[in-house]
Amino acid sequence: MKKKYMFFDIDGTLTDNATKEIVPSAQKTLDSLQEAGHFVAIATGRAHYKARGFMEAVGLHNMVCCGGNALVINDELVINTPLDRQKAIAVYKEARNLGYGALVMLDDSIDVYDVDDRFLRQCGERKEPTNYIFNADFDIDQVKDIYKLYISIPKEEEHRLTKKDTLGNLRFVEAYLMFQHDRKKQGILDMMERLGGSVEDVVVFGDDYNDLVMFDDAWFSIAMGNACDALKKKADYVTERNVDDGIYKACLKFGWIA
């Protein structure tokens, strides 16, 4: 059996959206793929600190995270690149000047910073565990690195933020816009270069719009049955829903597991 390099999205692909837990058959498939000698990794937009626990819990040791700009190989974080500093500062300043609140992630942790709590007053707390640090002396021009930005701008007002598209951005909730790397494809390419593997042997699994960037003609892309229509159209193969053993059935169909 030829070795494959398998990359899995987390939410809605490996995990059941209803329970937030990994689908049992998906866990068994991850185990079987590794036992068969394949390279198995997570591919997620989540920050390293946020994704590492899941990676370890499901018995994996490799990961493309932070939207493609961080790599974990054999449990070691080998690279974690922040956002373009000047572009991030420009987005932050424009948002603040327009009257929107902001949260700035300066490192690989749950800590976020700003001069005041305008973000919380405008859209409330984030659903994710977050440590809010507000200090009137916070100076964006003095920070060394910026890994993520959260801006409390409603979707219908995004046009006001003229610098929005200078950085990768995603909206998972209505209340705010998140600026982070959207380079899963490049992260996979970087991983393959470090591993010395062929991109033709890459297989990716995903379910949502943020996975579109890693569905590429250079390799084999599988959309879950519960995936968005745009991803299904771009996929090489559409399997069953994740909760209906879609990952297991696809890997069995293509002979990657017995």
40-50 pLDDT tens trace: 999 999 999 99
* C-alpha to C-alpha distance for 143 and 41, rounded to whole angstroms: 32
How confident is the model over 5-11, as a mean pLDDT?
Answer: 98
* pLDDT exceeds 80 at position 1: no
74-111 pLDDT tens trace: 999 999 999 999 999 999 999 999 999 999 999 999 99
How confident is the model over 158-176, as a mean pLDDT?
Answer: 93
Is residue 252 very low, low, confident or very high in pLDDT (cuts 50, 70, 90)?
very high
- Torsion on CA atoms 166, 216, 20, 73, rounded to nearest 10: -90
- Contact (CB, 8 A) for 79 and 71: yes
Q: Residue 13: what pLDDT?
A: 98
Domain boundaries defined on the chain? 5-80+182-253, 85-179
- Average pLDDT over all residues of the chain: 97
In sequence order, what are the beta bridge partners of 11? 15
Number of H helices, E strands in the chain: 7, 14
Q: Read off the tokens for 50.
A: 């946020």
Q: Residue 90: what pLDDT?
A: 98
* C-alpha to C-alpha distance for 167 and 150, rounded to whole angstroms: 12
Please name which of 75, 46, 44 lies closest in space to residue 204, comparing C-alpha atoms.
44
Tell me, yes or no, if the two domains 5-80+182-253 and 85-179 fold the same way.
no
Please give the model's pTM, rounded to 2 decimal places.
0.88
Pairing relation of β-strands 131-134 and 202-206?
A: unpaired
In sequence order, what are the beta bridge partners of 221? 204
Question: Could you tell me the fold of the domain covering 85-179?
Answer: 3.30.1240
The CATH H-level (homologous superfamily) assignment of domain 5-80+182-253 is HAD superfamily/HAD-like (3.40.50.1000)
Which amino acid makes up residue 251?
Answer: C
Which amino acid makes up residue 10?
Answer: I
Per-residue CA distances from 76 to 24, 48, 73 (Å):
26, 11, 5
Q: Read off the tokens for 176.
A: 């705010």
